Amino acid sequence: MKSTEFLTLDSFLLHFSIFLTQENNRRNEPQQPTPSHGNFQWGGCGDDVTFGVLFSKWFTDVPWVNERASKKFLVNLHNNAVGRKLTSESLAVTCKCHGVSGSCSLKTCWYALPNAKAIGLKLQKKYFSSVEVNMKLDKRMRKRSSLPLVSVLPTRKYVDEDELIFSTISPDYCSPDVSVGSVGTEGRVCDVDSTGTKGCRSMCCGRGYTVEVQEVKYRCECKYHWCCYVKCRTCLKSIQVYRCR
């Protein structure tokens, strides 16, 4: 399913976590960027890309080693690799200035990853442009590529190594579907002010919503009486309830 692409996020997060862990436990000397112009020195704790890639690959790919070369097997391996590749390519030179009043007369530079949110947004962009694939059983194709998957689109054939892929379209949970246990979202109460999953824009799947006015009871004019209880009146108020069409 298309939703299985989120496994790529697991690959990225594992890779990212390994980099952060290495801040306090270095196995190798960090690689140093090509010197830039100006006064500088290499220092700090650059992230060890090689070890992070190897460990995360072992952790995420090994469970699939004994699986048959099915579409699911190949799609998962491909998407895991995309997550690792994106993380590695996100490394950038980070520098810290030294000098009087921040004059940057001397700076220390090292390789570092951006925050997880920045890489996550890149993955999200890839998710929305992901490619549906099918398995190509041509023997010659198997020899030419370690990933015998081709796009189902007639306008293209091969899949790039940095593209997320999927083999089955995810169920449409907006509409009722007994086969997947979905009752749809028609008639669901939504929050018109929310921008999250409970918001009308997301929950109603673009179908819009209706507005109902309901009378609800609530406790009002509460008073404390000695001793010792609180007595309230029951009041009515009108509220607006939003439901998905």
For residue 218, give the CATH number of its domain. Answer: 3.30.2460.20
- What are 143-152's pLDDT values in tens digits? 444 557 778 7
The answer to whether residues 112 and 203 belong to one domain is no
Give the count of alpha carbons within 13 A of 157, CB side only.
4
Instruction: Go through 63-84 and write b for each residue having 16 or more CB atoms within 10 A of its CB, e for each that does not.
Output: ebeeeeeebbebbbbbbbbbbb
Residues 149/75, Cβ–Cβ less than 8 Å: yes
The answer to whether residues 17 and 39 belong to one domain is yes
Residue 9 domain flag: yes
| pLDDT at 144 (0 to 100) | 40
The answer to whether residues 228 and 130 belong to one domain is no
The answer to whether residues 35 and 133 belong to one domain is yes
Least confident interval from 17-31, 100-114, 188-202:
17-31
Average pLDDT over all residues of the chain:
75
- Of 122, 143, 166, the one marking the end of a domain is 166
Residue 64 domain flag: yes
- What are 57-98's pLDDT values in tens digits? 766 666 655 555 677 778 888 888 888 888 778 878 888 887
Residue 172 domain flag: no
The answer to whether residues 118 and 220 belong to one domain is no
| pLDDT at 238 (0 to 100) | 94
The answer to whether residues 198 and 105 belong to one domain is no
| pLDDT at 131 (0 to 100) | 85
Least confident interval from 47-51, 89-93, 237-241:
47-51
Q: Using the predicted structure, report yes or no on whether residue 245 has a pLDDT greater than 80.
A: yes
Range of the domain at 196: 177-244
CA atoms of 212 and 235, how far apart (whole Å): 20
Q: What is the pTM of this model?
A: 0.58
Confidence of residue 119 (pLDDT cuts 50, 70, 90): confident
- Of 113, 132, 166, the one marking the end of a domain is 166
| Cα separation of the two ends of the chain | 27
